[in-house]
Amino acid sequence: MTSWFVDANVFLRFLTEDDQGQHERAVRLFESARRGECLLVTGPPVLFELAWTLRAAYNTPRARALEILSAVFAMPGMTLLDAPLVADALTLAASAGTEFADAYIAASSRAAGCSGVATFDRKDFTRLGLEQAKF
């Protein structure tokens, strides 16, 4: 079966419909995957880009951006690289009220068995419950 790695711009055209031709092509791709005709794959960097663009360029509220990322995660025919970390990060971001990227860093820190995170972003990582290195 053919598989395709899906970039953030395909998700954006699907969601925003700001380019009708590209929107229709994205719909066809996602429908093809739903029918089992192809396999779609994406990963955390695409989700970071998608979340950032939705927030920065389309003024999407953080909670809505997380809903969209969760919907991508659940799409029929979609395989998500690093799925356990993404799932943990989505849960963390929603419960702590932080951005997905910071929650993914927190989830990665926990998965790697780290004591916490070395960061200058004290507020968000405190909300995520991570110990922060004092350096």
The two tokens of residue 82 are 């690093």
Structure token digits, residue 59: 């003024």
Confidence of residue 121 (pLDDT cuts 50, 70, 90): confident
Which tokens belong to 110? 């926990």
Interatomic CA distance for residues 94 and 45, integer angstroms: 19
Is the domain of 3 the same as that of 62?
yes
Residue 32, token pair as written in the block = 């093809």
Asked if 67 and 114 sit in the same domain, the reply is: no
Q: What's the number of domains the chain is made of?
A: 2
pTM, two decimal places:
0.90
- Domain interval for residue 35: 1-81
**Same domain, residue pair 111 and 68:** no
Helix runs in 35-113, H state only: 44-58, 62-74, 83-96, 100-111
Kindly report, residue by residue over 1-23, the tens digit of the pLDDT. 899 999 999 999 999 999 999 99
- Are 57 and 21 in a shared domain? yes
Q: What is the mean pLDDT of the chain?
A: 96
